[in-house]
Chains A and B, each alone.
Chain A
Amino acid sequence: MVQRRSLLDFLPHLVLLLGIFVLAFPVYVAFVASTWDAATIANGHMPLRPGPYFFENYYKLLFVGTSGSTREPVGGMMLNSLIMAVTIAVGKIAISLISAFAVVYFRFPFRMAAFWTIFVTLMLPVEVRIYPTYKIVADLHLLDTYAGLTIPLIASATATLLFRQFFMTVPDELVEASRIDGAGPMQFFFDTLLPLSITSIAAMFVIQFIYGWNQYLWPLLITTTDNMQTIVIGIKKMIVTQDALTEWQLAMATAILAMLPPVLVVIVMQKLFVKGLVETEK
């Protein structure tokens, strides 16, 4: 009996450890690669322990830039990525909250039509409508601006749907109690609905921040100057070089740096995030 139980305890742990190994090993290799010099990596016998070039590599990357491929230092790219990700996440949440509020709490003509129109855009991500979207942004002279980088990605049905579902679970009596307490619609929104949505907002922020941070195709199209590059594009540019040696130690360091902010956001917001996805208490 005891043995059987310990075996049953052991198996899941084994599976979990295997899973962690499969997930974490490549990340570890990337980190190790970022701490050696180009020659060690290039000769094909890179050791699996961190090398002595950690500070040198990261300093060069953040403040000087690579010698050939990207020119700009990665610090600037990270700032661009951060601005893009935060703007997209905050913008999406703000617009989605208000549109979900309108769809759930107001009876206006073509309300359901409006809702379904929002819903249908789920099937039209940027990749599908890339040409017209590019044309509009170009005609508005928004190429190489933060506005051009973020606004087309802000319009989002997913967050609107999530908030709509959440609002629909808020008891009607709360609205009625607010009305009797003399609160107008916007006051109800700010005093009651928003505080109740905090956990959903946090969950949405995490998801949308990572979505924004990982954008590749759109920034690639819309940015032409080096100082508007995002870090995801930076990695790509470092790896594909025809006339120069790929500086793998810098590319790997960039990959590690690109991973950090999303991980930080998840860690900081984890508690709220999990609550937002599972909590039902109202």
Chain B
Amino acid sequence: MNNVQLRKVGKVYAGGFEAVRQISIDIPDGAFCVLVGPSGCGKSTLLRMVAGLETITSGEVAIGDKVVNALDPSERDIAMVFQNYALYPHMSVYDNMAYGLRNRGTPKPEIETRVQEAARILEIGHLLDRKPRALSGGQRQRVAMGRAIVRKPRVFLFDEPLSNLDAKLRIQMRVEIKKLQRALGITSIYVTHDQLEAMTLADMLVVMNKGKVEQMGPPLALYEKPQTTFVAGFIGAPPMNLVEVPAGGMAGLTLAHPPQVGRFILGIRPEHFQLSSEDAGPSALVVELTLTAVEAVGSETFLYGAIGGAGREIIVRVPGKADIAIGTKLRAVADAHDLHFFHAETGDRLPD
């Protein structure tokens, strides 16, 4: 079993800064776990602690039920793909991939077979004699992946591997990484700050903030039921509208069944709004908006409007094109099951 367990893992740097606080995650064998969060949330530190590149201040990291806290990176049977690829510039692509195997004393024919196989999977067979500097960004990325897979490790670690690529290539490589991970079935931990990358890759998504886990689970579960306003604002693009509603209600915003807590935060995704007319039937949420900006992206249009004409600005998504003038008064409605309520102070989800 190549599961990875983090048990109350913590990291305190020499200066006293607590980068990672008591994190426990259980990643099953073969799962693709994505750590996502804003920069400085401790996700890379956590990954590097699993790799053994960073010491573990407290708690335990176990790979395949064996605690690896005291083991060197090379003894943990992991492979890592770095953001800047970290290919050895003076070695050919072949040597880059073979280096780790040679250091482990793998017999030559075996190295040859494994490198050729990895090159075939990644379609870099024709590049084996080249030096990294003669490769494009996408090719370097593939070589870095190749270096990881020839080792046949128990765990793959990815540290923002796609952030140095241009947008188009990033999407292409994202799909390939996912396919490759599926095909090889190797437990993977992937760090990114890109929520879209996180959503599309993950079997198991972990949203981190300030060194703590905000929420973890299947990506769609996090999308549908964010447990905190942080997750609500982080997952989805554009992010969920979060409106703080004071105890007495808010001008221009009508809720059919407001939670009985006084002040609260209402969350609603832009894509869950519909525009409606005055005489339509009652809805769980009705918002009166004055249009302030329009963003058309072709397949859909994002309308920015101020609640009640002057209040907080929210985003409403409408499919297709919308030809509406700025300053127009709109009426947006949403269903009850698309509404999220959060505690005004803690930001935690209120019980439904």
Contact = CB atoms under 8 A, between A and B. Distances in A.
B89 A177 contact: no
Interface stretch (A146-154, A191-199, A224-232): A191-199
Interface stretch (A6-14, A179-187, A259-267): A179-187
Interface in A155-213: 171, 173-174, 176-177, 179-183, 187, 191-192, 195-196
Interface in B64-86: 72-74, 78-80, 82-86
A243 interface: no
B88 A177 contact: yes
B80 A176 contact: yes
Contacts of A179: 52-53, 72-74
Interface residues of B, number: 24
B51 interface: yes
A281 interface: yes
A171 B86 contact: yes
Contacts of A135: none
Contact of A195 (B53, B82, B90, B103): B90
A173 B53 CA distance: 10
* Contact-residue bracket for chain A: 10 to 19
Interface in B99-125: 99-100, 103-104
A180 B104 contact: no
B86 A176 contact: yes
B74 A182 contact: yes
A195 B74 CA distance: 22
A89 B173 CA distance: 48
A282 interface: yes
B133 interface: yes
Contacts of A180: 51, 53, 73-74, 78-80, 100
A183 B98 CA distance: 12
A180 B103 CA distance: 10
A177 B104 contact: no
A182 B100 contact: yes
A196 B89 contact: yes
B90 to A, nearest CB: 4
Interface in A67-91: none
Contacts of B83: 173
B152 to A, nearest CB: 14
A191 B87 CA distance: 13
Contacts of A195: 90
A282 B84 CA distance: 11
Contact of B84 (A173, A191, A196, A281): A173
A191 B84 CA distance: 20
Contacts of A181: 74, 99-100, 103, 147
Given A176-B73, A183-B99, A282-B89, 14 more contacts: A176-B51, A176-B53, A176-B80, A176-B86, A179-B72, A179-B74, A180-B78, A182-B74, A182-B103, A182-B104, A183-B74, A183-B103, A192-B88, A281-B89
Interface of B: 51-53, 72-74, 78-80, 82-90, 99-100, 103-104, 133, 147
9 contacts: A173-B82, A176-B82, A176-B86, A179-B74, A180-B80, A181-B99, A182-B74, A182-B103, A182-B104
> What 8 A-B pairs come out closest when comparing CB atoms?
A173-B86, A182-B74, A181-B100, A182-B103, A195-B90, A177-B86, A173-B82, A179-B73
